[in-house]
Structure 1
Amino acid sequence: MATTEINTETALQSYESYERKARLSLRRRNMSDLALFLVGAGVIVWGVLAGADAMRYNWQWYRVPQFFYRIIDGELIWGPLVRGLMVTLQITLWGALLAFALGLSVALLRLSRSFSGRWLSTVYLEAIRNTPLLVQMYLFYFVLSPILGIERFWTGVLCLAVFEASFISEIIRGGILSVPKSQWEAASSLGLKPSVTYLKVVLPQAVPLMLPPLTSSLVNLTKSSAIVSTIAIFDLTNEGRNVIADTFMTFEIWLTVAGIYLVLTVSMSVLAAWMERRSRRLHQR
């Protein structure tokens, strides 16, 4: 009995020692990552300042807030950067909705037994994923837009949705294929229709696995939305360009615009990481 208690105490001490070493190792790794980040950020800041100093650039950061908002006679007036940000968010929202709908359709076509459906979806994926987004934007604007008679805003949204849907479709297809075959067989043995099988059996298991990469696609869509400035849509990038043309505050405005995009994408990346951890815990259960 005493021997058992000694062995148990020894095991607990070993486990506690292992935990302490693991926490210490994690702390050191985090400190190393932080140090590397600070060094990298310092090098970038030094490069920007050195370049501006070589150009004899006159920094005017005090003028930047007025491009976010101004208060005139007690009335709040939003600046061009905020207006551009609102357009960027609208493009991201509508583009994401259309991309998810189109991506789901393409994924189901690739998984279907229809030869024409699989052939069309494959041609679509190969054509979209192997041509530059800028070229697609010009084709949509100069060719498709006059034919369909749609505004440039919706032309940009449609182009971004079609482009991003080519990646989303593969995410959805991979999530559906990750569902064990036994689940399909069980649904078939119960006499469920294919549509019911997808809605009640497959998608509830596949969606948690698809959420993190889908969120990453949303991040890519947000970054890619800057390309709509090439067809004169007044998004954040285009508004920043106009402010620079009026004020010649190149460094301040582009750094501010980059910071806004960074805040948006990092927020989405944090959400994606949280969803990934949550989906893993649910999958393990």
Structure 2
Amino acid sequence: MTSLDVRLADGRLLRAYDTGPVDPAGSTGPASPDGRADAAGGPVLMWHHGSPQTGAPLAPVVAAAAARGIRVISYARPSYGGSSPLPDRDVGSAADDAVAVADAFGVDTFHAMGASGGGPHALAGAARHPDRVTAVVTLAGLAPFTERFDWFAGMRAPGGLRAAREGRAARARYAETDEFDPEQFLPVDFAALDGAWSDLGADVGRAARWGDDGLIDDDVAFAKPWGFELGEIAVPVLVVQGEGDRVVPRTHASWNLAHLPEATLWMRLDDGHVSVLGVVPDALDWLLAR
């Protein structure tokens, strides 16, 4: 995997990652002229990381993608993993950032997949750049804030998002005393973190090097208007949700399903917020069929 600091027109830097073109055997090869596929015909996936993480694609994502001949690119959102801050950013700002990263790697069109905090940002690209993003998968992703349903209901620890509704200063104050509540996760979530998805927990630990600003800005962006409407997204979207999720409850998936023009829901009855990521290989197959 290679990393690259992408310089944007506004002077910011984004730390970006690229596994390089692959074939199903996992070997590298030259990119095709249009940037979409490698020499074996495999597509490109833009991975949108959760909150907080470094931006590097997680090992299980890379492995599942390589087995299918899929090239993975990703980047750290502002204030994460070496990327420059973007004060007052909204979710929609990720669309232009993602396209800038794709351009830097010579990629034209791509699929997008985001987990947890990455889900809304994956949708942003489809809303603003439907000519570049061909299909989207969100895993345990939030819905836009609305008062038309109880957005916080079912969240075990909504304090950070409630503070974010009051603005960045309030969210930053909350971060000074915030502690992880293990009751957010089901036993199957901890089993996933101890097993196949151990790289997720390790990456969260690595993300601590850059402090809390990325997470604070994510929460503020989630809790205010996103800068686009779900109804603007014309590409196919797969919404994947764990029935037992105590971080992002199922009501968020139901709202997204009802408001996305071309959406499919996979409700995982036995999964929580982390264990639902076990569906990534199947979700990649869904993208390949689009």
Q: Which one scores higher on RCO, CA 8 angstroms, separation ≥ 6?
A: 1
TM-score range, shorter chain: under 0.3
When the two structures are superposed, what TM-score results if normalisation uses the length of structure 2?
0.20
When the two structures are superposed, what TM-score results if normalisation uses the length of structure 1?
0.21
Structure with the largest fraction of strand: 2
Q: Which has the larger radius of gyration?
A: 1
